[in-house]
Structure 1
C-alpha cells in the first residue's frame, strides 16, 4: 500500500438536480483526485471534517483509495454487510450470465441472513425473498410491497458490518450457518461449496478493491478444511444404446408433447448436447444429408431462467455457450441415427419463425423443463418396470448427455476429442464423465488380458 502526506481537501460541492440534490466531498492525495457523494449536507460535512482531522494529525493517506488509515477502519466498521453485498452484486452483474447471477444471489442470501444481529420478526420466507429482490439489480428499484420493504429496512438496520468478519466468533458462526439447510440438516456438498466460494470472493473484493479490510480473515481462522470434489456421474444412471433407442421410441408414444421432443432427446443422447443447447438449435446450425453422418454447429444457448435475471427482461434469453466466450461455438458430429431423427422432425414439425427446431406449444417460446421432464418420466414408465423406474437409471433427461459421453469413451474415441465434442475441459471430462456403460469393466479387463498375452 502506497501512502502520502500530500493531501488537499476541497469545499463541499452541492449539485442540484430535478429530482434530488446531492453533496460531493472532493480531495486530492499525491495528485490523485477522489470524491464521495452524500444525499444530505450534514453527512458530507461530517465526512469532510474527518478527512480534515486526519490531515491535521499528520496521518498518511492511501494513494489508491484516498482514505487515511483511521477513516478506512471506520468504513469497515460502519459499512453493513447488507450494503456491501448489494455493491458486490452490482460489480458482478455486468459480466455474469443470468443463471450465474441467480446462483450468486442465492448464496448471498444465505450469507446475509447469517450476518443479521437478530432474527427477523416476520416470516423467514418473506425475509429471504426481500433479500433476493434487494440483491437483484433489476428488481431493487421496482415497486415493493409494504411487507418486502419492511424486511429490507430490517436488513439495513440489523445487518452486521464488514468489519465484524474480523471476529473469529462471527466468522465461525457464519461458516457453520452456510453448512446448514433451513430445516437444520446439512446442506449438499455442492451448495456449501458455492456459498463458501461466494463468501471468499466477496471478502477478497472487500480487501483488494474496496480496501475495507487489511487482510482476508478467512486466512486467520482455523476451521475444519472440507474437501470439495466435482460431482461424478453415477454409473447406474447411464443407459446403453438399446435402452436409449427404446426410450426414444417411447417418447413418441408419450402423449401430445412427446413426438415433437423425440429429436430433442436424441440430440442429448447422440450428440451430448445440454438442454439449453438443444432448445436453441436452429436449422441453420445443421449440416446434415438425407441420411448418414452430418455435423452440428453450436453457437448459442438458451438456458431456463426468469426474466428478472436477464439484461433484456426476457425470460430464458439467448446467450453464449457454457464455458465459452460470446462468439465462440463448437462443432459436434451428427451420427446417422440422429440425422434420421432430425430429418423426420423437420419434415413433420418444421421450425419456429426464427429457425429453432423446438418451441413451446402455447407461445412458440422455449420448451419448459417441466414439459420435457414430464414427457421423459412418461417414457421411462413405458419402457422400465416399476422397480427400475424407481431407480436412478436415466432418471433425468440430463443423464442422456452422460450416456453419450460414456458411449464415446467406451467406444475408443480419444478423450481429447470427446472433451472437445462435449464442450468440456479434459480434466473435467476425466474426473466427471469418464464412466463406462454396462459391460465396460469386463471389456477393459479383456483388453488388458489380450495385452498381457501379446495379442
Structure 2
C-alpha cells in the first residue's frame, strides 16, 4: 500500500477554502512524500476485492460515499463503529474504553505485533515511526507477558533453581553477608 496524502476533517475555520476537510501531505512529512506500508496478504485480498467491485474515486480514494464520490462523513463512521463494537465486544468491553474509536485499532495493531514477537524495527516501519516513537507511544499499552518474559530470561540464563550467592558457594570474592539457605526460591 502506498499512501500519498491525507484528507483529515479539521473544520471549516481551519482551512484556506472554508471546507471541513483539507488535503495535506502525510503526517510529519512533506506534501510530496510517499510512504510504502507493508500489509499482510489477508489485507491485500480485502483491498483487491474492494477494487474489483468498486472503482476508486477520481482522486484515488478507495472508500467514498456514492456516485458523487464525497468523502464519508464523520457521523457515518461513528455510527458504523458503534454497531461494530456492539457486535464484536462483550458487555464488559463495551462499557470500557476498549476500541472506543477507530484510531484505537492502530494501538491494538502495534501492541499485538510487538506481543507476537514481530521485530520492533518492522513494526515501527509499518506504522511509519522511528523505533523510539513506537516504544514510547504504543508499547506501554502492553500489560501482559511478565510470566513469558521471566520464562525467557530463565532459559537464557539456563538457571533451574536460583540460590543466594554466599562466600561458601561463590568460590571466590568477599562474603555477601547473606546466610545460605538450602530452601529453593519458588519460581
Task: Provide structure 1 residue ranges, at least 5 long, that are not aligned to the other structure.
Answer: 1-295
Asked if structure 2 preserves the Cα contact closer than 8 Å seen for 1:304 and 1:368, the reply is no
| 3-state SS in 1 of match to 2:2 | strand
Structure number, greater radius of gyration = 1
Correspondence list, 1:402-421, <5 A: 402-421=107-126
| 3-state SS in 2 of match to 1:417 | helix
Asked if structure 2 preserves the Cα contact closer than 8 Å seen for 1:300 and 1:320, the reply is yes
| 3-state SS in 1 of match to 2:36 | strand
Which has the larger strand fraction? 1
Instruction: Say which is worse superposed, 353-362 or 365-374, in terms of deviation.
Output: 353-362
Cα offsets for 1:15-49 (capped at 9, x unmatched): xxxxxxxxxxxxxxxxxxxxxxxxxxxxxxxxxxx
Distance in 2 (alpha carbons) for counterparts of 1:339 and 1:410: 23
Distance in 1 (alpha carbons) for counterparts of 2:14 and 2:53: 35
| Structure with larger RCO (C-alpha < 8 A, sep 6+) | 1
Tell me the residue number matched to 1:383. Answer: 88
Instruction: Say which is worse superposed, 299-308 or 441-450, in terms of deviation.
Output: 441-450
Distance in 2 (alpha carbons) for counterparts of 1:414 and 1:351: 33
Tell me the residue number matched to 1:398. Answer: 103
Asked if structure 1 preserves the Cα contact closer than 8 Å seen for 2:107 and 2:141, the reply is no
Asked if structure 2 preserves the Cα contact closer than 8 Å seen for 1:298 and 1:330, the reply is yes
Tell me the residue number matched to 2:70. Answer: 365
Residues 314, 391 of structure 1: alpha-carbon distance in 2 compared, 3 angstrom cutoff = same
> How many residues are paired up?
159
| 3-state SS in 1 of match to 2:9 | coil
Report the Cα offset of residue 439 of structure 1.
4.8
Tell me the residue number matched to 2:131. Answer: 426
TM-score of the superposed pair, with normalisation by structure 2: 0.73
Which has the larger helix fraction? 1
Correspondence list, 1:283-302, <5 A: 296-302=1-7
Distance in 2 (alpha carbons) for counterparts of 1:316 and 1:402: 24
Task: Provide structure 2 residue ranges, at least 5 long, that are not aligned to the other structure.
Answer: 160-187
Tell me the residue number matched to 1:312. Answer: 17
Residues 331, 312 of structure 1: alpha-carbon distance in 2 compared, 3 angstrom cutoff = same
Asked if structure 2 preserves the Cα contact closer than 8 Å seen for 1:406 and 1:437, the reply is yes
